[in-house]
Structure formats: C-alpha cells, structure tokens
Chains A and B, each alone.
Chain A
Amino acid sequence: MSSNLSAILYLISGVLFILALRGLSSPETSRQGNFFGIIGMIIAITVTFLSVGNFSSGFIYVLIFLAAGGSIGAFIAYKIPMTAMPELVAGFHSLVGLAAVFVAISAFINPQAFGLGVPGNIKLASLIEMSIGAAVGAITFSGSVIAFLKLQGIMSGAPITFKGQHLLNALLLIIIVILTIYLCVTQSSNLFWILIAISFLIGFLIIIPIGGADMPVVISMLNSYSGWAAAGIGFTLENTALIITGALVGSSGAILSYIMCKGMNRSFFNVILGGFGANEQSLSNQNKEQKPVKSGNADDAAFLMKNASSVIIVPGYGMAVAQAQHALREMVDTLKKNDIKVSYAIHPVAGRMPGHMNVLLAEANVPYDEVFELEEINNDFANADVAFVIGANDVTNPVAKTDPQSPIYGMPVLDVEKCKSVLFVKRSLSPGYAGIDNDLFYKENTLMLFADAKKMTEDITKNL
C-alpha cells in the first residue's frame, strides 16, 4: 500500500474518532458514535497490516495475540459491575501507558523497522519524541496502578505524605529532563532504561499523596496523560491517527479534571499536591456537642412523600455501595403511580468518577430525562416538597455557602435545605469524605432515616 494512501486512511480513522466523541453530546447519537469509533479502529489496524505487508508466520502470531487480548478485554467488559467502572477505567489507563512504553522500547532497540535511523544513531527528533512517549507512558502506568489499588480498596485511600515529597518529585522531574538531553547526545541505551525507571517511580510518587475523595480528578488526569503518551508515540511513528487521538484524549481528560476540580472548588494544583482529607478529622471532633436531631422511620418517610406533589432524589456514592439503586427506582415508580413528580439531582462529583452516578441510575432503568445536573435543578429545590438524600453527604452541606472557615467553603452544593422537608438516609451521623459535620442534619425540616440505604428504601416502598 502506498504511504500516501495509508496516510489518508489514517486521517479518516482519526476523523471517525472525533465523530465518536461528538456522538456523546446526546444519548440518542451516542451509540452511533461508538460505532464510528469501532470502524475507525478497524481501518487503522487493517491499514497497518497492509502497509507493513509482512504476512509471514509473525502475522499469524499477531492475530493470535490480538485475539487473546481481545477475548480478555471482552470478558472483562461483560463481567464488570457498573459500580466498579472507576477501577476498570484506571486499570485500562495503565494498559495504554504500558503499551506506550513497550512501543517506545521496541522503537529504541530496532529503529530501522520504524524508519527512524539505526541503533546508536536515531534521528534526534524521533529520540526526543520516543523519550517523551516512554516517560509519560510510564508515569501513566504506575500512577494508574496506584489509583486502581486505592479504588479497589487493596491500598488505603488515605493520602500518604512525607517530608520533602514535593521537593523529591520536582527533583525527579528535573532529572528526567536532564536524562533526556543526555540521551539525545550519547544515544546510550542505559540512559533510556534509567529514564523509564525514574518515570515509573514518579508516577507512583505523584499519586500516593492524593486521597480517596480526589479520585475523580486523578482518574481524569491519568486519562489525559494516557492521551499525551499516545500522541508522543504518534509523533515517533509519524502516524496521524495516533496524533489526532492522542490530542483528543489528552484534552478530554484535561477538561474532565477541570470540571471535577470546579465541582469541589479546589484548584488543580491543590489536588495534585495532595493530603486532602488527612488533617480534617481533628477539626470535626472539636465541636462534638450534641445538637438535636430529628429521626424517623420508613412509615414517617412514606407519609411525607405520599402527601408531596414533587420529590427530588439526591443520590450519592453511598447509594451505590449499598446497591440501593434498583430499590430506589421501585420506590420512585410507586411514587409516580400516585401522580407525584420525581426528578433526580446529580452533583458533578457524586460517585467516584465523572458521570458515574448517571451510569448507575441508567443501569437501574431510570430514564435519563428525569436526571438533572446541579445547575439545571438547583432552583427547583425551593419549590419541591420533599428532598430524598440517599448516600450523598458533603455535596448537600450548606456550610459550603455559609462558613468561610470550612474546608469545603465555596464548593457548589445542592440547595437541599430549601425544600419543605428533607429526608436524609444515612447509617449514622458520621461525617462524610471531607471529614466535616453536615449542618443539614440539624435543620428544623430534616428528618434523619438511620438505616441501610437499600433496606430503608424497600421499607418506604412497602409503606407507600
């Protein structure tokens, strides 16, 4: 296949990838978008086979490895529960990162195959590009592995900090730059290996100080990194499809990180420097004076809801942990039968990754046009009769609007307290992720329902 033709086909597959993302602007077009993505991938792989033109025994092995990896991927995709999406995405990021490292290593050992020169005399530009690809790929890999372990609960979500941490990270980054320069001068393979090793180390060090509550930012950030790694390799291979995709994924992840940071009113820097959620605990223990709390049972909750004309549901990650989404939808179905208007309010950082709560609700057959984002629904709380908070906590805390001393001050929150009455399903009065007390518990119009989210929801349905 002529290289011009293959370049054009790579460009087409890049355009198809753009359309794949474009499709996600609405759920109706999204499935078609995903289909475009698949076509783009098939084109890219086929073109590569045709332009390499080597259909020897190696080709058979390529197909075998492709099928092996593909079946593992397909198996995981069908088995994974929707609650585990954050872990899955983190795991997948690590694979992209490691693949980038491997491709860079292979290109370094055998540059002729890629038309980049001979070992010991690789084109300068290519050498820089593959160093960047390998370094970013290695950071993505080890960072994602740590994120995966934290999300999976194998590693504690608590931030790990030590003195001089940031200094060490800065120092390592400088070393990476210096090594890259030396590598370009000497073409020494030892330097290349050291470069990769240090990059692995830095990915590890960057993620360990970041606490569990900030995982949505971390996943988005690693998403972005995996894109930049792919773009770096794309420059090395002079491949347009890879360059376009890398840029798309890189900016996509960056935007998602930005949205998540804004949802928590934290600066990106603040998240990266880490340690959030470690020292807040002591703060909440200070004002432990007993404030009066009204608590009720399923019967009271059912009574309140039966007499309401509109109900807003505020789900949070706790709902997913209790696996209460199906029970919740059954409750809502019963309410709707009684002509009560029900909508769902989702905070940008509800769940553990961007859009996580929406997927969980969709899985429980909640129609997506009943689910609203914070800006869309926040004014409706004042006119609603009942707010049903299930598994959410910090995102409803009015302190974010009133107390400048609070660590979450300035964070956008759902105006739940403006509802005529608030039903708050929670196991106990313990503080949430941010480690601060929720003023909402003590409001006049709040009724606490102390129980497991799933059980409580089922009981309410029975009483309706």
Chain B
Amino acid sequence: MEIDPFIFRLSIFILSIFVGYYVVWSVTPSLHTPLMSVTNAISSVIIVGAIIAALSSDNEVVFSSSSIYGFLAIILAAVNIFGGFLVTQRMLAMYKKKKKD
C-alpha cells in the first residue's frame, strides 16, 4: 500500500521538533532575546502562503475576495521579516568581547 504524503510531512514535522529541541538548548542564555527575534523573522516564512494566495486570482482581477487576504498577509509578514532580521542583526552587532590589553 502506498504511503500517504501526509505521513512524510508529519515525519519531517516531528523530527524538526527534536532538531529544534536540541538546537535551542545549545543556544547560550545571553542570546535568548536575539533567539526570539530571529525565530520571529523565520516564522514569517508564512509569506510563502501569502504570495500564493495573492497571486491566486486567475483572471484580470488583481484584488479578489481571496487574494486581498494574501496581500494583507504579505504586508504583515514583510514587516516581520525585515524587522526581525534587522533588529537581530542590530543586537548581535553589539555583543563584543573584552578588548585585549
């Protein structure tokens, strides 16, 4: 019997939870705030769905009842992506080691 593709996705999901578990425990506590802002940025990869939704109308109409939600989601996710990565960058740039004297 053929395996449902859903099972494959579920496997990826479960394994990723474990990967996340071990990777996040290895994050140094002093970087927990950048961790939150970067997870914020990457979870906005949901923009993938927003783009598909925005480009879903098949005829000349750009803004249909379904695509409008896609466009709104694009704005929200874009704020997060740029804001998240840039603020993380800004924070990480501040972490400096002791100057050797």
Q: Which residues of A contact B (CB under 8 A)?
A: 10, 13-14, 17-18, 20-22, 24-27, 30-31, 33-34, 37-38, 40-41, 44-45, 48-49, 52, 54, 56-59, 61-62, 65-74, 76-78, 80, 82, 85, 88-89, 92-93, 95-96, 98-100, 102-103, 105-107, 109-110, 112-114, 125, 219-220, 223, 226-227, 230-231, 233-253, 255-256, 259, 346, 348, 353-356, 358-359, 362-363, 365, 367-371, 373
Contacts and interface: CB of A to CB of B under 8 A. Distances in A.
A254 to B, nearest CB: 8
Nearest to B37: A89
Chain A contact residues: helix, strand, loop or mixed: helix
Given A27-B30, A38-B85, A100-B46, A69 B79 contact: yes
Given A18-B16, A76-B87, 10 more contacts: A27-B92, A37-B38, A61-B62, A67-B78, A69-B74, A92-B40, A102-B76, A106-B73, A243-B9, A355-B30
Contacts of B29: 259, 346, 348, 354-355, 358, 373
Contacts of B31: 24, 27, 30, 355, 358
Contacts of B93: 31
A99 B50 contact: yes
Nearest to A368: B95
A367 B96 contact: yes
A214 B52 CA distance: 38
A348 B31 CA distance: 12
Interface residues of B, number: 83
A65 B39 contact: no
Contact of B86 (A62, A68, A78, A246): A78
Contact of A21 (B30, B35, B86): B35
A47 B56 CA distance: 16
B97 A109 contact: no
22 contacts: A20-B38, A31-B92, A34-B85, A41-B45, A52-B52, A65-B78, A69-B76, A69-B78, A72-B79, A73-B86, A85-B33, A89-B40, A93-B40, A106-B66, A106-B67, A112-B56, A113-B56, A223-B39, A248-B42, A354-B36, A355-B36, A358-B30
